[in-house]
Amino acid sequence: MSKKLIIPKQIVTADAEDKIYRNYSIEIEEGIIKSIAKVDEDKISKYYGEVLRYPNLTLVPGFVQTHIHTCQTLFRGLADDLELLDWLTMKIFPYENSHNKESLRASVKLSLLELQGGGTTTVMDMGTMRHQEVIFDEFIKNGMRGYCGKCMIDENELYPDFKETTKESLSESYQLAKEFHNSAEGRIKYGFAPRFVLSCSEELMKETHSMLGDFEDSIFHTHSSENKSEIEAVRKKYGKENIEYFNSIGVLDDHTVLAHCIHLNNSEIDSLKTTQARVAHCPSSNLKLGSGIAQIPRYLNEGIQVSLGADGAPCNNNLSVFTEMRLAALIQKPVHGPTSTNAKTIFRLGTIEGAKALHLDNEVGSIEVGKKADLVLLNLESSSHSLPDDDENIYSNIVYSSSPQDVEHVMINGGWVVVGGKSINLDEEEVVADAKEELLKLLKRSE
């Protein structure tokens, strides 16, 4: 990999001091940020390596989304206007159950096209019950960074056809973790993914959590406390609130990432705090499924770790981190007041806090010397929707005004994955045509 010197208009670092550099260059070698230095034209004229000047573009860290379902992207627009349990029973479980390798591959490619094209460079994916190796294969081939893991389901009253035995689920997860944890030069890690309390036995949850001990820095990733009917069913099943139940079986710690966490009582909030379990906040999904609004300002005040995710395409219906940032900021304001969330805080949730949630903050999430070069060049001057682009309103522009269309170039691990808004690895026309064809076949299979 050659040496590169990138000279953008400005660098928004998301480091501990929220430093913003103007007239600085950033040097990348072997996929690592080697230096960040004031532009020195004398030195640059003698630089041997590529010199890339982007006088109109803003460099930001690659965005991190901590809750995604790439297997669901094919179902976008096919499960609207339902609440969670109906959405799963009537649409999502039957569709996921109908995936074969080809339809799954089409769904993952479509996801990566959208995620990378929108500046997301790291995700944690909930995976798929069958053919999980296909997701790993596409992540590896397309230069993605993140945690993935087989979706684990060993009980399913909502849709009984869609489950495996406890033993199958555990042993396949273990084998996949052995094969893929820390693969692709460490870009890919294993995230164990028991789906949620209503589709997992207590044994599955506990045994899965104990497997983390064999895979350093693997993650326990599940859904929690998303919807009132769901938590009522959890109460019926275990006589406890969702987080209370997780705490009682010992699966909460700093390597646990819980999507949603909307309906929590005070003692559950305390449990998140004391165990350091993480919250993956998914505002679009929470609104679209009518689930509720998580008390994010309170969680942040209490020191609970919060990051962002688009969740699945059928409950969003996009995978844009910009939409999640904008909504995360806006939805709190009517309830908690306009100062309860600000653009800079929310920008951090989409970058460094996402990396912290996944224990990847030594590697990504901010632009600092020694970190991996996961970088996004944004054009905040391209059109009327994000002008003016002043020193004062940079975070505001990114969080409140920008969109994936403003993403010009994206680099992961020092290699370009998107240049001029186009994917380097994926042929958009082919991916879209394939997705259409595979969806038709899948819908036939699911009839």
Binding site for ligand GUN (CB under 6 A): 69, 84, 88, 92, 195-196, 223, 226, 285, 311-312, 315
- Site pattern 177..196 for Fe ion (x: CB under 5 A): --------------------
196 binds, among Fe ion, ligand GUN, none (CB under 5 to 8 A by kind): ligand GUN
Q: State in angstroms the smallest separation of the CB of 127 from ligand GUN.
A: 11
263 binds, among Fe ion, ligand GUN, none (CB under 5 to 8 A by kind): none
State how far the Cα of 412 lies from the Cα of 112, in Å rounded to an integer: 13
Comparing CB distances to ligand GUN, the nearer of 187 and 263 is: 263
Q: Which residues pair with 20 in a beta bridge?
A: 12
Comparing CB distances to ligand GUN, the nearer of 31 and 94 is: 94
Comparing CB distances to ligand GUN, the nearer of 257 and 380 is: 257
Q: State in angstroms the smallest separation of the CB of 87 from ligand GUN.
A: 8
Q: State in angstroms the smallest separation of the CB of 15 from Fe ion.
A: 30
296 binds, among Fe ion, ligand GUN, none (CB under 5 to 8 A by kind): none
Q: State in angstroms the smallest separation of the CB of 240 from ligand GUN.
A: 18
187 binds, among Fe ion, ligand GUN, none (CB under 5 to 8 A by kind): none
Comparing CB distances to ligand GUN, the nearer of 92 and 135 is: 92
State how far the Cα of 9 lies from the Cα of 312, in Å rounded to an integer: 34
Q: State in angstroms the smallest separation of the CB of 226 from Fe ion.
A: 8
Residue type at 310 in one-letter notation: A
7 binds, among Fe ion, ligand GUN, none (CB under 5 to 8 A by kind): none
State how far the Cα of 112 lies from the Cα of 103, in Å rounded to an integer: 14
92 binds, among Fe ion, ligand GUN, none (CB under 5 to 8 A by kind): ligand GUN
**Is 211 within 8 Å of 192 (Cβ atoms)?**
yes
Comparing CB distances to Fe ion, the nearer of 58 and 156 is: 156
Comparing CB distances to Fe ion, the nearer of 259 and 367 is: 259
**Is 378 within 8 Å of 398 (Cβ atoms)?**
yes
State how far the Cα of 263 lies from the Cα of 103, in Å rounded to an integer: 34
Q: State in angstroms the smallest separation of the CB of 145 from ligand GUN.
A: 22
Q: State in angstroms the smallest separation of the CB of 361 from ligand GUN.
A: 26
3-state SS class at 215:
coil
**Is 63 within 8 Å of 17 (Cβ atoms)?**
no
**Exposed/middle/buried for 403, CB within 10 Å: 0-12, 13-18, 19+?**
middle
Q: State in angstroms the smallest separation of the CB of 431 from ligand GUN.
A: 22
- Site pattern 243..282 for Fe ion (x: CB under 5 A): ----------------x-----------------------
3-state SS class at 84:
helix
State how far the Cα of 209 lies from the Cα of 215, in Å rounded to an integer: 11
Q: Exactly one of 311, 324, 353, 408 binds Fe ion (CB under 5 A); which one?
A: 311
The DSSP secondary-structure symbol of 398 reads I
218: CB partners within 8 A, 6+ apart: 147, 177, 181, 189, 190, 191, 192, 211, 212, 255
Q: What is the CA 279 to chain-centroid distance, rounded?
A: 12
Comparing CB distances to ligand GUN, the nearer of 139 and 196 is: 196
State how far the Cα of 64 lies from the Cα of 371, in Å rounded to an integer: 15
Q: State in angstroms the smallest separation of the CB of 78 from ligand GUN.
A: 13
Site for Fe ion in 366-395 (CB under 5 A): none
Peptide bond into 61 cis (omega under 30): no
278 binds, among ligand GUN, Fe ion, none (CB under 5 to 8 A by kind): none
State how far the Cα of 241 lies from the Cα of 234, in Å rounded to an integer: 7
3-state SS class at 22:
strand
Indicate the residue whose CB is closest to Fe ion: 311
Q: State in angstroms the smallest separation of the CB of 71 from Fe ion.
A: 11
Comparing CB distances to ligand GUN, the nearer of 226 and 244 is: 226
> Do the strands 188-194 and 219-224 form a parallel or antiparallel pair, or are they unpaired?
parallel
Comparing CB distances to ligand GUN, the nearer of 60 and 327 is: 327
Peptide bond into 338 cis (omega under 30): no
237: CB partners within 8 A, 6+ apart: 197, 198
Within 10 angstroms of residue 63's Cβ, the number of other Cβ atoms is 31
Binding site for Fe ion (CB under 5 A): 259, 311
